[in-house]
Amino acid sequence: MKFRAETNADVDDLNRKYGAPGRIVFTPSPTGFPIVAMACQYGSVRLSLYGAHVLDYRPTGHAPVLFMSKATNLAPGTAIRGGIPVCWPWFGRCGEPGSGAHGFARKSAWQVTGTEYSEEESTIRLRLVSTDETRKLWPHDFVLDYTLTLSMKLTLSLKTSNTGADAFSITEGFHPYFRVMERDHVTVRGLDGCEFCDARVTDVADRTWTGDLRVTDAFDHVFTTHKNEFALLDPDLKRAIAMVSLHNKKLIVWNPGPVKEGDFENLAPDEYRNFVCVEPATLFRPDAITIPPGQTHELIAAIQSVAE
């Protein structure tokens, strides 16, 4: 795919149009796509315009909430390992055969459409639109608007607008890599009573989860959610990461388990112990969201770190 959005050469212009000293600042990156840093009294966040990818989120007085692989890079055409990827217009392998995992939004250049700031929150709005290049990958017309707001929590909103003449269907999701001290010690709450499947085996929910969840081996379970309120408890870091979401049908909990060099793009072998992915999403083709012409769909998630 060709990249036509802002590049490092546009950093000064971005700061003039959308920046605010001490609140919203655009900086160049070694791979050619600007990074925006936002801050308010409650914390800070960094976002790459390549992939609309959240790289770092640090509430004031807390350790970083997100894991970022030491092996990753921001090179165009590659996936960033860590942070919060945007998976769209398909999640996982829900695209057409041979289309690759998690769609093209996470490997696209996004454009800034607006910013706002105050003492208590900072917001940036990004946009991805259909082009001849995207239609080669997915033959539909769309506008994808991503709004990220930093306040006492980090709020993500991904709105899909169908600007074409025909209905289309999407699967989608946010893919947060939550940083933990030791994977084997953390607990995920909020899944008691949810039907689930092991995505490595089947896409049919064939079991029901009971109690809290511990991830102590390779794990890739897809849960049919009830309340969409979850918590990741890390006794070693003495914190809980709370997440709520809207308009997703599933929640994925994933960790690859022990890996060898080269098994995963941009992931070092020893890093699997330092993250657990808890992902609000809609996936599997039977559950895909159909959007008629002129209509929209919005996926929302909010993340907050709480000291225990």
The 3-state DSSP class for residue 57 equals: strand
User: Looking at residues 13-36, what average pLDDT do you find?
Assistant: 93
Per DSSP, what are the bridge partners of residue 300?
157, 246
Residue 8 has φ and ψ, to the nearest 5°, of: -55, -30
Question: What pLDDT, on the 0 to 100 scale, is given for residue 299?
Answer: 98
| Residue spans per domain, the chain | 8-307
Question: What pLDDT, on the 0 to 100 scale, is given for residue 1?
Answer: 43
User: Looking at residues 212-236, what average pLDDT do you find?
Assistant: 95
240 sits in the region (left: phi over 0; alpha: psi -120 to 50; else beta) called beta
Find the radius of gyration of the CA atoms of the chain. Answer: 19
- Is the pLDDT at 5 greater than 70, yes or no? no
Q: Span 8-307: which CATH code? A: 2.70.98.10
- Is the pLDDT at 259 greater than 90, yes or no? no
- What is the overall mean pLDDT for the chain? 93
SS3 for 6-49 is: CCHHHHHHHHHHHCECCCEEEECCCCCCCEEEEEECCEEEEEEC
Question: What pLDDT, on the 0 to 100 scale, is given for residue 51?
Answer: 94
Question: What pLDDT, on the 0 to 100 scale, is given for residue 254?
Answer: 97
- Is the pLDDT at 275 greater than 90, yes or no? yes
Per DSSP, what are the bridge partners of residue 80?
none
Which burial class, exposed, middle or buried, applies to 207 when counting CB atoms under 10 A from its CB (0-12, 13-18, 19+)? exposed
Please count the residues of the chain. Answer: 308
Residue 48 has φ and ψ, to the nearest 5°, of: -90, 135
Its pTM stands at 0.95
pLDDT band at residue 70 using 50, 70 and 90 as cut-offs: confident
Dihedral of CA 110/267/182/281: which sign? positive
User: Looking at residues 35-55, what average pLDDT do you find?
Assistant: 96
* Range 21-36 burial, b when 16+ CB lie within 10 A, else e: eebbbbeebeebbbbb
- Is the pLDDT at 212 greater than 50, yes or no? yes
Task: Say if residues 199 and 92 touch (Cβ distance below 8 Å).
Answer: yes
Question: What pLDDT, on the 0 to 100 scale, is given for residue 3?
Answer: 46
Q: Which percentage of the chain shows pLDDT scores above 90? A: 81
User: Looking at residues 270-295, what average pLDDT do you find?
Assistant: 96
Question: What pLDDT, on the 0 to 100 scale, is given for residue 2?
Answer: 46
126-167 pLDDT tens trace? 999 999 999 999 999 999 999 999 999 999 999 999 999 999
Q: Which of 101-115, 135-149, 224-238, 252-266 has the lowest mean pLDDT?
A: 252-266
Q: Which of 76-80, 91-95, 198-202, 283-287 has the lowest mean pLDDT?
A: 76-80
Which burial class, exposed, middle or buried, applies to 2 when counting CB atoms under 10 A from its CB (0-12, 13-18, 19+)? exposed
83-139 pLDDT tens trace? 999 999 999 989 888 788 899 999 999 999 999 999 899 999 999 999 999 999 999
Q: How many CA atoms lie within 13 A of 9 on its CB side?
A: 2
